[in-house]
Amino acid sequence: MKKITINDVAKHAGVSKKTISRVLNNEANVSPDTKLKVHSAFDSLGYRPNPQARALASNQSFLIGLVYSSPSNSFVSKIQSGALKRCKADGYNLIIYPEDHENDYLLANLERGLISANLDGIILTPPFSDMKPLLDFLSEKKIPFIRVGGDLSINASPSVYSNDAEASYEMCRYLVSLGHTKIAFIMGHPDHAASHQRLIGYKKALSEAGIEIRDTFIQQGYFTFESGEDCARRLLSQEDRPTAIFASNDYMAAGIIKVASQKNLFIPNDLTVTGFDNAPASRYIWPSLTTIKQPITDMAFEAARMLIRIVRNKPLENNIVTFKDELIVRESSAPAPKVS
């Protein structure tokens, strides 16, 4: 059986080999009609591009790396989905690197793995997007990268992020509007910049409302269900307990709901519970969770788009792209209980 070549495709489509190459590389200077003709020729002839030959011809590997460390399956799924969708559209493959960010040999492992894979570029998610030694290493090796959700004050590299402080502020303003004055807050993992931004929003909202910020009402969580449980036990064991608890993610909020049930507290009449991220669990638990929806999939899609432009030596329209979070009100929040 004769092997189909790019020459065969060009002849069948009635275009030049250079046009075929442009279509394969998803370049912008090809008309929609020409793209359709070329892809129709691919299908008719059963042509499958040779990845190795394509890489040699363009001096690219067409491989994008995604580095993440997250206890949230929902976050990982959304970030992979967005990045993969964009990579596929542009003819790139996505290679995932799940890493433990607390591993003592993390940097050495990443350096070895990233260099040996010959990646065209890397998408960094929290907390990797804030690791200065890693950012310095990538810059030194001239490996293109995009940061998702990083602290903009740490590095001026291209980034996509949502304003966590503003979203947290909006959630707390909502709780204040319901009449709550005893609002507790469970922080996320301290290695994540978002955790500190969400605390800033919490404190700002309470200060503006003239509500005392109690140290005992701020607990350190780690974005896990178990840490949410632990923090909830401490908060709900206080003599003057909170009437509302805002957790930095939905998994910790689910832990609060479990502990409240064990203590025979009815949500939301006795206790309002809110979360962050709009994980699938936030809709399925009862009562369903009031939370903040982050456009994680869209952020990852945009991060991949920006990175591929950098790889192709094309200018970025904006170095920093900001996404808007959304407050989602469900059954777990209600007006503060009346003092008897």
What tens digit of pLDDT does each residue of 249-267 get?
A: 999 999 999 999 999 999 9
| CATH code 1.10.260.40 for 6-58 | yes
The pLDDT score that the predictor gives to residue 62 is 84
Q: Give CA–CA dist 83/70, Å, rounded.
A: 16
CATH of domain 164-294: 3.40.50.2300
What tens digit of pLDDT does each residue of 155-194 get?
A: 778 999 999 999 999 999 999 999 999 999 999 999 888 9
Q: Give me the tens of pLDDT residue by residue for the chain, a chain 340 residues long.
A: 567 777 888 888 888 888 877 777 667 678 888 888 888 887 888 876 665 555 545 556 789 999 988 666 778 889 999 999 999 888 888 998 887 777 777 777 777 777 677 789 999 998 889 888 888 888 888 889 999 987 777 777 899 999 999 999 999 999 999 999 999 999 999 988 899 999 999 999 999 999 999 999 999 999 999 999 999 999 999 999 999 999 999 999 999 999 999 999 999 999 999 999 999 889 999 999 999 999 999 999 999 999 999 998 889 999 999 999 999 999 999 999 986 5
Alpha carbon dihedral 200, 202, 205, 211, in 10-degree steps, equals -120
Dihedral pair phi/psi, residue 83, rounded to 5° = -65, -40
CATH of domain 63-162+296-322: 3.40.50.2300
Read out DSSP for 51-99? HHHHHHHHT---EEEEEE--S-HHHHHHHHHHHHHHHHHTT-EEEEEE-
Cβ atoms of residues 13 and 40 within 8 Å: yes
Ranges of CATH 1.10.260.40 domains, the chain: 6-58
Cβ atoms of residues 203 and 213 within 8 Å: yes
Specify the DSSP element, H or E, that contains 322: strand 320-323
The model's pTM? 0.81
CA 321 to chain centre: 13
Ranges of CATH 3.40.50.2300 domains, the chain: 63-162+296-322, 164-294
